Amino acid sequence: MTAPPPHIEVESVTLAYGDFVIQHDLSFRIRRGDVYIIMGGSGCGKSTVMRSLTGLLAPKTGRIFYDGTSFWEMPAHERARTMRRFGVMYQSGALWSSMTLSENVALPLEQYTTLSPAQIRAIATYKLALVGLRGFDDFYPSEISGGMQKRVGVARAMALDPEVLFFDEPSAGLDPLSARLLDELILELRESLGTTMVVVTHELASIFTIADDAVFLDPETKTMLTTGNPRELRDHSDLPKVRAFLNRGAS
């Protein structure tokens, strides 16, 4: 029996800002419905990898495939259509500051569905409830805390029930209970809707709870060190750097 084709495939990709190479020779595959973790030290280029996966930064060399089609070689309008199936939560929140939380979540729905305003509002309320923000619909982003802004970012990313969800450090700045709720949400979405999830995170507890597979980026050699399930990497990896990272420095 052959394995199903990967949902996302990264093939010898090099990422750079101008001449400044951030990561080179990245190759990994993300299966449909997996929770895939991108991990590595601060500043190693995790957010940059996410930018190239979500259509914001073209790789210098190499290709990225979605369902076997090369993402960066598509005509622009087709790439835009592919991107519509993504939900992205940015590291800094990136909420629209002049819209209420409900309007932030509703905007994608208004643009891409034909639902009535009442139905859109109901969906926005439900998405906010999923991230623990029931009743905060009419607040503005500047009126809520940093951790709450993070969670609204998650709710907005989920607005259209995308096929792929990208989360950049979703649990940074969250209390342990909210962080656990978020992990449960990630697993539940994967379970019930079959969403593929690409998550950048440092939180070890969260990594071991949710991850199916992961890639480890290294800031020194500027490339990936390994891929695999983090629990197995923690216990069996022959790379000291990876074991140290996953064991908090203790080996």
Ligand X SMILES: Nc1ncnc2c1ncn2[C@@H]1O[C@H](COP(=O)(O)OP(=O)(O)OP(=O)(O)O)[C@@H](O)[C@H]1O
Interface with ligand X, residue 24, by CB under 6 A:
no
Interface with Mg ion, residue 91, by CB under 5 A:
yes
Pick what 232 binds: Mg ion, ligand X, another protein, none; C-beta below 5 to 8 Å, kind-dependent. Answer: none
Residue from the set 43, 117, 146, 176 that interacts with ligand X by CB under 6 A: 43
Interface with another protein, residue 109, by CB under 8 A:
yes
The residue range among 9-17, 26-34, 66-74, 105-113 that interacts with another protein, by the rule CB under 8 A, is 105-113
By beta-carbon distance, which residue lies closest to ligand X? 47
Pick what 129 binds: Mg ion, another protein, ligand X, none; C-beta below 5 to 8 Å, kind-dependent. Answer: another protein
Residue from the set 7, 24, 29, 46 that interacts with ligand X by CB under 6 A: 46
Q: Between 87 and 126, how does the x/- string for binding to ligand X read (CB under 6 A)? A: ----x-----------------------------------
DSSP the chain: -PPPPPSEEEEEEEEEETTEEEEEEEEEEE-TT-EEEEEESTTSSHHHHHHHHTTSS--SEEEEEETTEEGGGS-HHHHHHHHTTEEEEBTTB---TTS-HHHHHHHHHHHH----HHHHHHHHHHHHHHTT-TT-TT--GGGS-HHHHHHHHHHHHTTT--SEEEEESTTTT--HHHHHHHHHHHHHHHHHH--EEEEE---HHHHHHH-SEEEEEETTTTEEEEES-HHHHHHH-S-HHHHHHHTTT--
Residue ranges in 53-82 that form contacts with another protein under rule CB under 8 A: none
| Alpha-carbon gap, residue 162 to 113, rounded angstroms | 13
Interface with another protein, residue 171, by CB under 8 A:
no
Interface with ligand X, residue 44, by CB under 6 A:
yes
Interface with another protein, residue 181, by CB under 8 A:
yes
Residue from the set 45, 87, 132, 230 that interacts with ligand X by CB under 6 A: 45
CB of 89 to another protein, least distance (A): 16
Interface with another protein, residue 225, by CB under 8 A:
no
CB neighbour list of residue 246: distance below 8 Å, 6 or more residues apart: 204, 207, 230, 233, 234, 237
Of residues 53 and 210, the one with the C-beta less far from ligand X: 53
CB neighbourhood size of 144 (10 A) = 17
Measure Cα distances from 71 to 12, 58, 75, 89, 210 in Å. Answer: 14, 10, 9, 20, 27
Q: Which residues bind to ligand X, rule: CB under 6 A?
A: 17, 20, 22, 42-48, 91
Residues near another protein, by CB under 8 A: 96-98, 109, 112-116, 118-119, 122-123, 125-127, 129-130, 132-142, 158, 160-161, 181, 184-185, 188-189, 191-193
Q: Which residues bind Mg ion (CB under 5 A)?
A: 47, 91
